Structure 1
Amino acid sequence: MSGSKREINFQFLAEPTDVNFGGKVHGGAVMKWMDQVGYACAAQWSGYYCVTVSVGGIRFFRPILVGQMVTLNAKIVHTGNSSMNIFVAVKSGDPQKNNMVDTCRCIISFVANDASGYPVDVPTWIPQTEEDKALESYAIHAREFSKQLEAELLQALDKS
């Protein structure tokens, strides 16, 4: 049974343990956070354990500094039979000044699985607003582009 809640937010402070050699939050830490919030969103929507299938269109806009507030928003933007595309947006800023700015975004695909690890059907999500429709279109386009790139890679590998 699905919780049918489409969206979830995580919010926390960036810590010194998240820093790379350049003194900024490590991109790998940000990607981990994005996968975690995406998983929480997918599991909340489907009511099942979910696995990450792919991450696409990841784009970093600016660094996150230690001590900044970090907010991650994840929301369902497209569903298939057992799959869900989650749009994840990251913002960060000084918690004392409340000046949050866009930091990063991506689309993550998850598949819901039963206790034996087999895919299970998920509730259908239907876009309601123009933004919802645009995000769904983006997710579908990203999926199709990813399939095209994969086919091209496999073809290139077969030739070598």
Structure 2
Amino acid sequence: MEKSKRELTLRFLAEPTDVNFGGKVHGGMVMKWIDQAGYACARHWSGGYCVTVYVGGIRFLKPIHIGNLVEIHAKVIYTGRTSMHIAVDVWANDPKEDEMVKTTHCVIIFVAVDGDGKPEPTPSWVPKTQEDKDLEAYAKRLMDLRTSIQEEMDRR
């Protein structure tokens, strides 16, 4: 598949309705944007309906202010038989400035499903560049960590 099916960027202004009690964009709103961008990317890649099955390690690095230009970049970094690992980065800045600042990062896993809600195969992605190979290795390390965490949680 071509690169354009593998990634996308959403751009918009943070609105006053997105504010929390501290005067900055609410973390829950950022998580909603992340899920929407991740879904759009997974849907575009798979060509069908997808469901979120895991959101991991959301890192809120910097606040987003009302009126900031927000960019949410989603990219397929690993595919399994029915799953897609999507890296999502959120960037923001004052629209009067040029430099965007990374505010949030996470990886979301989506599964392609058929009309009955059963997992169905998704196109595989094969990394070609070193950067893409590094992203795939990152996704695999995260899978190993999730397995360890799940095993620990199952002990309780």
Letter in 1 for 2:25: V
The corresponding residue for 1:23 is 23
Letter in 2 for 1:34: I
The corresponding residue for 1:87 is 87
Alignment of 1:8-47 (within 5 A): 8-47=8-47
Aligned mates of 2:103, 2:12 — CA distance in 1: 14
Deviation at 1:147, TM superposition (A): 1.5
3-state SS in 2 of match to 1:141: helix
Identity among equivalent positions (%) equals: 55
Query: Is the counterpart of residue 128 in structure 1 residue 125 in structure 2?
Result: no
User: Does the 8 A contact of 1:57 with 1:142 survive in 2?
Assistant: no
Letter in 2 for 1:132: D
Letter in 1 for 2:130: E
Letter in 1 for 2:30: V
3-state SS in 2 of match to 1:104: strand
Letter in 2 for 1:81: R
Deviation at 1:57, TM superposition (A): 2.1
Aligned mates of 1:130, 1:80 — CA distance in 2: 20
Aligned mates of 2:133, 2:109 — CA distance in 1: 17
Unaligned segments of structure 1, at least 5 residues: none
Unaligned segments of structure 2, at least 5 residues: none
Alignment of 1:1-160 (within 5 A): 5-155=5-155, 157=156
Deviation at 1:95, TM superposition (A): 1.2
4+ runs deviating over 4 angstroms = none
Greater alpha carbon shift after TM alignment, 96-105 vs 114-123 = 96-105
Aligned mates of 2:29, 2:147 — CA distance in 1: 27
Aligned mates of 2:71, 2:51 — CA distance in 1: 22
Aligned mates of 2:65, 2:48 — CA distance in 1: 34
Aligned mates of 1:130, 1:103 — CA distance in 2: 25
Letter in 2 for 1:25: V
Letter in 2 for 1:117: G
Deviation at 1:98, TM superposition (A): 2.1
Provide the aligned length of Structure 1 versus Structure 2: 155
Deviation at 1:133, TM superposition (A): 1.1
Aligned mates of 2:103, 2:129 — CA distance in 1: 24
Deviation at 1:123, TM superposition (A): 0.5
3-state SS in 2 of match to 1:5: helix
Deviation at 1:97, TM superposition (A): 1.6
Aligned mates of 2:142, 2:36 — CA distance in 1: 21
User: Does the 8 A contact of 1:10 with 1:72 survive in 2?
Assistant: yes
Aligned mates of 1:75, 1:42 — CA distance in 2: 9
TM-score by length of 2: 0.95
